[in-house]
Structure 1
Amino acid sequence: MEKKSNSIYMWEVKKGSIGVGECSKGNSRAKEDRLSSLPNELIHRILSTVDAKLAVQTSVLSKRWRHLWTSLPVLNFQDSSFDDPVLFQYFVDHVLSHRDASTNLQVLNFASQEELQDEHVVDSIIDYVTLTPPISATIHFLSILAECVLGKLPQLSLCQSLTTLKLSHISTETTSFDVVSLKQLYLFDCRFECGVEELLDPFEGCVNLTCLSLHRCNYYGGFETFRIFAPQLTNLSISWMRIDEVFDSDCVIELSTPKLQYFTYCDTDLYDFSAEVDLPCVEEVDIDVWCLNKDTDLLLRMIELFEMMESAEFVTLSPDMIDVMSMFPDILDGRSSPFTRMQNFELNRDTPSVPPNVMAYLFAGSPGFRFN
C-alpha cells in the first residue's frame, strides 16, 4: 500500500517544471544548491504560489526538500493539474493526512471544475481546518470552488482566525454564517435551502464582516424579508440573486449596515430595499438595472433606494434606469433630489442624453456634482 501511495504523490518531476529538468548534472546540482541554501521561510513563500501538486513534486530534489511541502502555510488544490478526478481527490486526502499538523496553515484554496466523484473530500477539508487545533487557530483564508453539497458549513464557527471565506457552486441546508472572526465573505452561484420563515437573517453571526458579495445565489424558501445585519460592513455587492430560481418582487432586502460605504447592484430588476438604520457613510453607489419591466413600481423602488443612499458622492446608474425616470415625469416633478453630496455621476453604458427633469431630480441637491 505504501508503494501505491508513493506513486500517487511522488510524481516524476516534469522536464523544466521546477527549473532543473533541462540542465546538465553539474548545473542541476549547482542550481539545487543555491535553492537549498535558502531559509525554509523563503522556500515556503515560493512554494505557496504554486499548485500543491508541483509543491509536492519538489520532494524528489534532495533530502533537504523531501519534507518541506508538509509544512507549507498555503495549499492550492487545483483539479486542472490532474487528468483523473479520482486521483485528484486521493491526492487531496493524502496531502492533508501527511501534512505536519503542528505547523501553521494560513491559506487553503480548493478548486474542482469537474463534478466531484466523491463529495467527502470537501468535508475532509472542513474537518481538517476546524478539528485540528493548531490549524483552526491559524487559518485565515479558505476558498472552496466545487459543485457539491456542503453539509459541514456550521463547523467553520470553530475557526478562531478565519477572516476570508469564498464559496462557489456549493449547495447547503445551512443558511447562517456564524463565524465571528469573518471579515470578507464571497458567495458565487451558491444554493441555500432555507425552509419556510418570514425573516431570513443569514449574516447576523458575522459581527465583524466588512465585505459581502452575493453573486447568482439562489435561496429556496418562503421568507419575505432578507436581512443583512452587519454592523461593521463597508462594502456590499449584490447581483442576480434569486428566490426559488426566480426574481421575487415581493422580497424585501433589509439593510442594517450603518457603516456601509460602497454599494453595488446588478440585475434585470430591482428588489425592494429598506433600511433599519441610517446609512450616513455611503460614498460610492453603482446600480446597473437592465429594467425588463419598466413601470411605476420599479421607479418607486428606485426612488426609495436613492433616498437611502443620499450621502453618496460617486453615483453610477444604467441608461435603462434613466429611461424609467423619464417615462413618468409626474412622479419626479416636485420631488426633492435624493443625493445631497454627489460630486461625480456616470452612466455605465452609453445613452443619448439625460432629460432635463431627470437631471434636476438627480443633481439639484448636489451643487458641486460633475456629470461624466
Structure 2
Amino acid sequence: MIQTKTGKGKHDIEMSEDKLSDLPNCIMVHILSFLNTKDAVRTCILSKRWKHIWKYIPTLTLHYSNFSTLKSFDKFVSRVLSLRDNSIALNTIDFYRNGSITSGLLKKVAYYVLSHNFKLLQLGIDAKSDIGHILPCISSFQTLISLKLSISPKGRYNFGRTLFPKSLNLPALTFLHLGHFIFCAGAGDGGQIEPFSAFNRLNSLIIDNCTVKDAQILCISSETLVSLTMRNHSFDVYQIELSAPSLCIFSFMGIPYQKFCGSGLSSVKQANIDAEMLANYSVPPLVLLRLLYDLANIKSLTVSASTLQVISFVPDFFMAKQLPSSFMRTLKSLKVKLKPLSYGLSMALKIVKLKKELKSGFEPSSPIPDGILDYLLQNSPSADVDIVECSSASSIDDSFNHLAPLSSSLYLEFLQPSSNEHVVHGLHRRIKHLKHVEVQTTTYIDLAKEVIFREREEMLSLKEHTMMLSKTMEVLLATAIGA
C-alpha cells in the first residue's frame, strides 16, 4: 500500500511493509489455490518469497480461455506439470481445452493424474480427444467426490460420442457431470440401461448431450440424488425411468424428445426449463407438456420465453382438456426469462403468425404467447409471477452456467450421428429433418410474399379510394361555390 503525505508543496511517499509476504507458506498456498493456475504462476515475479509458492498448490485449474492461442496453452500445461512439486498431493484438477488435443499432451495429463490419484478429490476434463488413456483407470480414484468428463472424438466435423464404461465404481462420488457419452445396454439387460447404480452417494448429476444404444429406457436410480440437470438435442427416442425420492431440483435445456415414465419427478420442488425446437414438430410440445404434468409438487418454476412458445404449439385439442387437479397445484413462484429465440423456433412462430395474419389480420406479437400463463396457473392463481429480461448470452438460471451457450451449438448438436443407427443412415435421417426446415423456410417466404402482395393490393385500393374522395370533395366544393 502507498501512503501520500502533503507538506509545503512536496509529497513524501512511504511504502508500507508487505504484510502478505509475511504470512506462513500454508496460508499463501491456500490463497493461491482459489486462482486459476495461470494467475497463480504469475505471482512468482512478485519477489523471491513468491518465486516457488505456486509449485505447492494442491489444485490445478487449466483453461484454454485464459490464453491467446492453443499452442501457448499446451506449452504452459506441459511446463506446469514438469515444474510442479511432485511431493505435494493433488486434490483437484480442472482441464478444459477447445479443439482436438494431441494424444501426447492428454497422455501427459492422464499420467500426472494417475500418479497423484491417492488423494484426488475433484477431476474435470473437457476436451476433444480419445479418452482411452484415462477412462479405464478412473475407478482407481477411490477418494474422488467430484467428476466432470465431457469428451468428444477428434476431428473438426466429428460430433460423435464416447462409450461410457459399465464397470465404474467410485464409492465417494457425490457430483457427476457427463458430456457426449453413450450408455450402452447389454444383451441381457432387457432394453434397459442403468449406468449410475454404483454411485451410492451421488448428490448432483448433470447429463449433457448423452444418449443410449441398444436400449429403450435409461434408468436413473438413486436414493441420495438431490439435483438433476439434463441438456439434450438428440432425436433419439427413448424413455427415462427416474427413481430418486430425494430429488428436489430439476433442470432441463434443449429439445424435449425423451419422455419421463412413472412419477420420478413428483418429489421436485424447484425446476428450471429452457426448451427449444428446430422446426414445427409435433413431438416436443407434447413431451414438454407431459413433463410439466409430472411436476406434481413443484413450488418454484423458472422457464424461458422459448419454453412458453414451444407449449403454444400444443394442439388446441390437448389444451382444451381438463387439467389434472395436481397440475401446478403447489406452485408458489413462476419466473419467466425473456431471451432471443433460436432460428428454428423463430421461423416456426413466424409461419404460424403469417397464417393467422392472412386469416384475421395483423396482431402485435408477444414474447409470451397469449393465454399460456393463465393455462399454467389454473390451479395456483395466487402464485407470484416474475417476468425478467435476460441477454442472449445468459442462460435462464445459474444451473446452466457450466454449459456452452445454446445458440452457438444448436445446429452442430443437431448434426450429431445417432447412436442407434449406422452413421450413413443417421446422416440421411438428419438430412430429412433439414429438408423439413428448408420446406418451413420456403413456406415462410411464400407466406411473406402473399402478405406483401395483399398489403400492396390494399395500398393501391386505399390510394384509389383517396383519389375518389378528393374528386368528390372537389365536386362538392364547386357545387357549393356555384350555389
TM-score normalised by the shorter chain: which range applies?
0.7 to 0.9
Residues 331 and 294 of structure 1, relative CA distance in 2, 3 Å threshold: farther
For the 8 Å contact 2:312–2:369, the answer to whether it is kept is no
List aligned pairs for 1:96-175, cutoff 5 A: 96-116=81-101, 118-132=102-116, 135-137=117-119, 139-151=120-132, 152-171=134-153, 172-175=162-165
Q: Deviations over 1:192-225 (max 9, x none)?
A: 373766222222222222122223x243633211
Residues 241 and 269 of structure 1, relative CA distance in 2, 3 Å threshold: same
Give the structure-1-normalised TM-score. Answer: 0.73
Aligned residue in 1 for 2:172: 181
Task: Pick the aligned partner of 1:310 from 296, 302, 326.
Answer: 296
Larger Rg: 2
Task: Pick the aligned partner of 2:327 from 327, 331, 338.
Answer: 338
Give the structure-2-normalised TM-score. Answer: 0.58
SS of match in other structure, 1:336: coil
- Aligned-pair distance for 1:153? 1.7
SS of match in other structure, 2:267: coil
Give the partner amino acid of 1:119: S
For the 8 Å contact 1:337–1:363, the answer to whether it is kept is no
Residues 253 and 48 of structure 1, relative CA distance in 2, 3 Å threshold: same
Q: Deviations over 1:117-148 (max 9, x none)?
A: x224334433433443xx422x2222222211
Aligned residue in 1 for 2:216: 224
Task: Pick the aligned partner of 2:317 from 325, 328, 345.
Answer: 328
Residues 327 and 101 of structure 1, relative CA distance in 2, 3 Å threshold: same
- Please state which structure has a larger fraction of its residues in helix: 2
Distance in 2 separating the partners of 1:193 and 1:66: 47
SS of match in other structure, 1:269: coil
Over aligned residue pairs, what C-alpha RMSD do you find?
A: 3.5
Distance in 2 separating the partners of 1:344 and 1:33: 51
For the 8 Å contact 1:165–1:185, the answer to whether it is kept is yes
| Range with bigger deviation, 310-319 or 64-73 | 64-73
Task: Pick the aligned partner of 1:369 from 371, 383, 405.
Answer: 383
Q: Deviations over 1:270-293 (max 9, x none)?
A: 311113x65553111233333544
Distance in 2 separating the partners of 1:334 and 1:61: 66
Give the partner amino acid of 2:112: Y
Asked if 1:353 is matched to 2:334, the reply is no
SS of match in other structure, 2:312: helix
Identical-pair percentage: 27
Distance in 2 separating the partners of 1:355 and 1:31: 63
For the 8 Å contact 1:126–1:156, the answer to whether it is kept is no
Number of equivalenced pairs = 327
- Aligned-pair distance for 1:305? 2.6
Distance in 2 separating the partners of 1:86 and 1:159: 30
- Aligned-pair distance for 1:344? 2.1
Distance in 2 separating the partners of 1:202 and 1:125: 26
Unaligned stretches of 5+ residues in structure 2:
1-14, 154-161, 339-366, 387-483
Q: Deviations over 1:231-290 (max 9, x none)?
A: 211111112242xxxx12x30011121111111112233311113x65553111233333
- Aligned-pair distance for 1:341? 1.1
